[in-house]
Amino acid sequence: MARRPSPSDYRSDVWNDWCPGCGNFGIVAAMYQALAELNADPKATVVVSGIGCSGKIPHFLSVSGVHTLHGRAIPFATGIKLANPGLNVIVNGGDGDLLGIGAGHFVALGRRNIDITVIMHDNQVYGLTKGQASPTLPRGIRTKALPMPNLQDPVNPVALAIASGYTFVARGYSSRVKHLKDLIKAAVEHRGAAFIDVLQPCVTYNDVFTYDYYDKRVYALEESGWDPDVRDESDAARKAAEAYAKAFEWGDRIPIGVFYRNAHVPSFEDRIAGRLPGYLKVPPAAEPVDSGGAPLMDADAFRKAFSKYIVEIGEG
Amino acid sequence: MTLRALDFILGGPQGGGLETSSQILTWAFARAGYGVISDREYFSNIRGRHSYVHAEVSATGLPRALRYPIHLLGAMDAETVFTHFGDLAPGSYLVYDTGEEGKVYESIPSIEPELKARLRAAFREAGLDGTLGSLVKYLSASRRVVPVGLHYASVLSEAQKEVGIAASQASRYVSAILVGAVAGLTGLGDGPVSYGLSRRFPKKELYEPNRYVAGAVASYVKSKFGAPLALEASSIGQRELLVASGNDVSAMAKIVGGLRFQSYYPITPAADESFTLEEYESLHLDGFDSEVVVLQTEDELAAINAAVGAALAGARSATATSGPGFDLMVEGLGWAGMNEVPVVVTYYQRGGPSTGQPTRGAQSDLLSSVFASHGEYPRIVIASGDHEEVFRDAIEALNYAERYQMPVIHLVDKFLANTIASIPMPDLSSIRIDRGKLVGEAAGAGGYKRFDFSSPISPRAFLGQAVMWYTGDEHDEWGHITEDPESRVKIMEKRMRKLEIADSEIPEEARASYYGPERADFLLVGWGFVKGAALAALEDLSAEGLRGAYLHVRMFSPYPSRLVSRILAGFEPDRVIDVEHNYTAQAASLLAMNTGFRIRRSVLKFTGRPMYADELARAVKSVLSGSEREVLSYGA
Ligand SMILES: Cc1ncc(C[n+]2csc(CCOP(=O)(O)OP(=O)(O)O)c2C)c(N)n1
Ligand code: SF4
Ligand SMILES: [Mg+2]
């Protein structure tokens, strides 16, 4: 692309079948804008999603898209990124997808600190299966489709991300598109596992956490003087603890913005490169496996590599 | 008199050095030019429960099967003798610790109650008092077993004086006592034994005392018994041998085959393969470079899906697992089928269902491998029968996956995985790497349809080379969701046609092999590790004038129906016998489904222990004289 791309360059021509007014429209709009401002190469950008209303998002983008299984977007993204660390990999998942059926993977990504951005569509319900409670719906709440109030306590996504080791943890709101766009850009530019919990009103099934509810309450952390950055490695634990506590602020005022950012933790790719000297130069996806149909390894190399298993017959 | 082949068992508590003894002896026999196979049997336990190694050493070939009764039992402890005394042939040798003669089986807590009950009955009948001493006397008097009693503690305290090993370390040298005893009884030369020891103990501080103990025991035993179990000179005629477990062979083959990504979640008996891969993750020899990312995931759901992701990005990719892990992978495998992803699952079968028999072998996941899924998609299922086949198949699995753009399941059983065998060095010049139809960056121009309908196998570009979409929903050529009925028919046909193409391209001779005379009187049909036992049993039977053949099935999808039908047509239906390690004769069901031929007779084993050539030969005779179903159970 010679000219600077515009957001509409990142829109595919697939008809978007989300309910009119769904908060997901704000998220995809923020993605179009962020990708345009990042001048993202559509070939080298891969959006990986799970299953749910949120999971359809790759089809609406004109970058590569991998619409995976319920809960498994992170493992797919992990394989893609580790095979080709040159790709820009973004995961979009529902709250049920990432924190219910896929919660183990969510934690694992934090531990590894792979350079992947995870955007969670947090609508407190299972949209695509018609409105059941998701893992972020508070106890005692009865959203529209629920026959009875919710019996289970919610998990706090921001706190869980911090506890899991994500090195960039933020919250956005789908209706503050420009703010969300900036968060997405910062998350993509962060080298390490980045997580954005996006408050996303589901206009069809969630009649409690609505636009109106959030519009009255959200405020930007950066405007309140919050400093998310770990400036010195030795300060990481204290900063994480403060951000963790901040994650529980919820009620009349709901903070959005970056809670925590730590650029000092080595990414998983760097950790692998510490063991595989060629890894970042020639990643697994590009490393040759044959020479004209013959294996690269010949008898000599085999003998050298696997001498441990070879027994030469002889006397001594 | 010298032996052509020797079967022996070494036993002891798990974690007590048994593997050390067996490894040293395997290297030593191979060094002396003999063929070796050695099967390790163990509980799901880290320390203390009884484990044993059953090995066969051959002067005339590279053995692929084990036999009973055995010529030699080397016991680290009394439990080994209590467990295996029935395996000893008349005239065989029993190496045991005279310091344990007073041990009574009833008071050994690790012996399972069922075995205790059997021992109670046997001891009552023989009029024994329950001690090891009484058992040894009885074996010697009534079964012509030759006791080779050594006082292990004295041997070790002698060594403490001579080579100064610390008293606290002495028990670590029991493994060297067994090495010495086996070397002495078999007349294995000093050279090969030192070779085995030096490979196991490259450090002088460990090598020297081990050598001392083994040497002292060997010369004592030799002087007293005179190498009664000596093997005849080897006529195998190899200059070098590859000595490795199935797990290790698979790992080596994957590296030769250009594997670039392997994900796994630890599970027996698959995990060793991934460990070996990690050991060789970075190879930079002159002119040869290979790096493999080996990722330990949080579970098998992640393992399969990360492997699929890596394949989408263009890496040759695989995962390795066993039954419980495979069950978790099924949904991911379906996604790979739906999205035409080349990914390999190396499936090490163990006893099931559920946790089942985690450390024991089985062939009971065949139908699951072929059918596990909701919906329908094409897949290739290969099964290896011995270490050489594991090597070939592990590479072909990677080739087929890319050529036909579908998941490939490579079935190996625990028997193969944990059995160490000596095999010829692989012939790398005959190996091909086939990546299938790749378009690379050229795909980008004018929009790339990943699932282009113009041929069943669409040209493949990797993520990063073009913009493309994938989805587990039914999709169009672009990889976008569609529920259109006509498009559904087209894409289903496109995907399923690939299996027909594979069926027409992969020679049936590579998918099933016939072993035996052109006209045989009966046919054994088997797969996997059964191969070795079947071929050895047929040899024994032919010595008795029974002319049989063996049909070895190596690929179950696409099934070599024409070749198998042709072979079956040459036999009376009642002279065809299915042989496998499961309860329900799964391979026979698949054979019936694919050929219409229903095998009515079977020899089955599902104890978790391998089939032994001798028990199989006996069972075949029973079947030939009318029995419809023989269930084998030999082996501790
Ligand atoms: C293994 C599996 N179980 C259940 C489903 C059914 N299912 C589809 S979407 C979904 C929930 C989606 O909720 P969420 O992840 O919050 O996404 P949203 O639709 O709210 O964006 C479920 C349970 C499935 N697709 N796969
Ligand atoms: S159900 Fe809710 S989340 Fe799904 S598209 Fe409709 S409004 Fe959006
Ligand atoms: Mg949701």
A81 ligand 1 Cβ < 6 A? no
In CATH, which of 3.40.50.920, 2.60.40.10, 3.30.230.10, 3.90.45.10 is domain B510-632? 3.40.50.920
Cα–Cα–Cα angle for B323, B328, B332, rounded to 5 degrees = 120
Give the pLDDT confidence of B85-127 residue by residue, as tens digits.
999 999 999 999 999 999 999 999 999 999 999 999 999 999 9
- Which among A87, A277, A316 has CB closest to B313? A87
Chain B residues in contact with A287 by the CB 8 A cut-off are 260, 289-291, 315
Query: Which of A15, A17, A22 is the pocket-test mutation for ligand 2 (most atoms within 8 Å of CB)?
Result: A22
Task: Identify the closest residue of chain A to B440 by CA–CA distance.
Answer: A286
Q: What is the pLDDT of residues B129-180, one digit of tens each?
A: 999 999 999 999 999 999 999 999 999 999 999 888 888 888 899 999 999 9
CA distances from B423 to A312, A316, B35, B67 (A): 12, 21, 8, 19
> HSE of B630 in the Cβ direction (CA atoms, 13 Å)?
22
Condensed to tens digits (0 to 9), the pLDDT of residues B9-23 reads: 999 999 999 999 999
Spatial CA neighbour of B273 closest among B304, B250, B293, B296: B250
| Ligand 1 pocket, mutate which of A16, A22, A51, A136 (most atoms under 8 A from CB) | A51
A125 CA to centre of ligand 1 in angstroms: 10
- Asked if residue A277 belongs to a domain, the reply is no
pLDDT of residue B433: 98
**Cα-to-centroid distance, B463 and ligand 1 (Å):** 26
What is the reported pTM? 0.98
Residue A302 lies in a domain: no
CA distances for B17 relative to B81, B173, B177, B219, angstroms: 17, 8, 11, 22
CA B148 to ligand 2 center in whole angstroms: 79
Is residue B411 classed as helix, strand or coil in its secondary structure? strand
Chain pair A-B, CB pairs under 8 angstroms? 266
Which residues of A fall within a CB distance of 8 Å from B465?
43
Nearest CA to ligand 2 atom 2: A202
Is A218 close to ligand 2, i.e. is its CB under 6 Å away?
Answer: no
Q: Could you give the CA distance from residue B601 to residue B579 in angstroms, rounded to a whole number?
A: 9
Task: Count CB neighbours of B391 within 10 A.
Answer: 26
Q: Cα–Cα distance between B286 and B537 in angstroms, integer? A: 46
- Give the rounded distance of the alpha carbon of B456 from its chain centre: 36
Identify the helix (H) or strand (E) that includes residue B562: helix B561-569
* End-to-end Cα spacing for chain B: 30
Question: Ligand 1 center to residue A136 CA distance, Å?
Answer: 14
Q: What is the CATH number of the domain that holds A28?
A: 3.40.50.970
Measure A276 CA to nearest chain B CA, in Å.
Answer: 6
pLDDT for residue A1 is more than 60: no
Q: Which atom of ligand 2 is nearest to the CA of A52?
A: 4
Residue A301 lies in a domain: no
Contact list, A304 vs chain B (CB under 8 Å)? 285
Residue A279 belongs to a domain: no
Q: Are A71 and A105 in contact (CB under 8 A)?
A: yes
Indicate which of B25, B286, B288 best probes the interface with A, i.e. most A CBs within 10 Å of its own CB: B288
Check: CB of residue B448 under 8 Å from CB of residue B467: yes
Whether residue A2 is predicted with pLDDT greater than 80 in this model: the reply is no
pLDDT of residue A316: 67
Judging contacts by C-beta atoms under 8 Å, the chain A residues touching residue B191 are: 314-316
Is-contact A57 A23, C-beta < 8 A? no
Measured distance between the N- and C-terminal CA atoms of chain A, rounded to whole angstroms = 69
| Cβ A161 under 6 angstroms from ligand 2 | no
Domain B5-225 has CATH 3.40.920.10: yes
In this complex, which of B287, B464, B472 lies closest to A87 when CB atoms are compared?
B464
- Counting ligand 2 atoms within 8 A of each CB, the residue from A60, A92, A123 with the most, and so the one to mutate, is A123
Under an 8 A CB cutoff, do B479 and A276 touch? no
Handedness of CA B396, B397, B403, B404 (dihedral sign): positive
- The alpha carbon torsion through A96, A180, A223, A230 (nearest 10 deg) reads 70
The dihedral built from the CA positions of residue B389, B394, B399 and B401, taken in this order, carries a sign that is: positive
- What domain range includes position A136? 7-269
Q: Is the previous residue joined to B324 through a cis bond, with omega within 30 degrees of 0?
A: no
* Most ligand 1 atoms within 8 A of CB, residue of A54, A70, A144, A150 to mutate: A70
pLDDT value of position B443? 79
Q: What percent of chain B has pLDDT over 70?
A: 100
Residue A144 Cα to ligand 3 midpoint, Å, equals: 14
Q: Which residue has the tokens 């970042």?
A: A280
The whole-number pLDDT of residue B166 equals: 83
Cβ–Cβ contact B390 with A under 8 A: no
Q: Which two tokens stand for residue B355?
A: 């946790």
Q: Does B258 touch chain A (CB under 8 A)?
A: yes
Instruction: Say which residue the tokens 């040798």 belong to.
Output: B93
CB contact under 8 A, B431 and A279: no
pLDDT score of A247: 98
Q: What integer pLDDT is reported at residue B442 of this predicted model?
A: 83
The count of domains in chain A is 1
- Residue B272: the pLDDT is 97
Across the interface, whether the CB atoms of A277 and B284 are under 8 A apart is answered yes
- B435: nearest CA in chain A? A293
Secondary structure in 3-state letters for B116-134: HHHHHHHHHHHCCCCEHHH
Please work out whether the CB of residue A197 comes within 6 Å of at least one atom of ligand 1.
no
Whether chain A has a CB inside 8 Å of the CB on B133: the answer is no
Strand locations in B369-419 (E): 380-383, 408-413
Any domain includes A206: yes
Find the length of chain A: 316
pLDDT at A3: 82
Chain-chain contact of A43 with B465 (C-beta, under 8 angstroms): yes
- Give the Cα separation of B92 and B90 in Å (integer): 5
For A191-203, write each residue's pLDDT tens digit: 999 999 999 999 9
A313 within a domain of the structure (yes/no)? no
Residue B81 to residue B132: CA distance in whole angstroms: 8
Q: How far is the C-alpha of A120 from the C-alpha of B205, rounded, in Å?
A: 58
Q: ipTM of the predicted structure? A: 0.98
Question: A170 pLDDT band (50/70/90 cuts)?
Answer: very high
A204 Cβ inside 6 Å of ligand 2: yes
The DSSP call for residue B626 is T
CATH number, domain B244-430: 3.40.50.970
Locus of tokens 């968060």: A183
Low-confidence ranges of chain B (pLDDT < 50): none
- Tell me which residue has its CA closest to atom 3 in ligand 1: A70
What pLDDT is stored for residue B515 in this prediction? Answer: 98
